[in-house]
Structure 1
């Protein structure tokens, strides 16, 4: 999945949804989500979704692809 400029909460939600549906995340998307998470750009709901993604990655439920 190509990385997009995430300028709105709807776009963030769509990208997170695509990651959860495909069970795949690129390194680029992974770095971008981490950056958004640490910069405090994400609301509580999206923070929870990103945490869910990283937990799934750590348990092998979502694959990191290059």
Structure 2
């Protein structure tokens, strides 16, 4: 089931963004997609300290 979900996430057009999409990226551990969205957020608002996470790596929910 996780593999099928990851495959479907791969069908999403480049540059798409929404809260649900971000949740799905996290839930199914698409680190590349999540990192791209975070990089865009940081570029748009580099002073927004809420975008910076200093708590260290966390396991994806599907890997817990």
TM-score, length-normalised on structure 2?
A: 0.41
Structure number with the higher strand fraction is 1
Larger Rg: 2
Which structure has more relative contact order (CA 8 Å, sep 6+)? It is 1
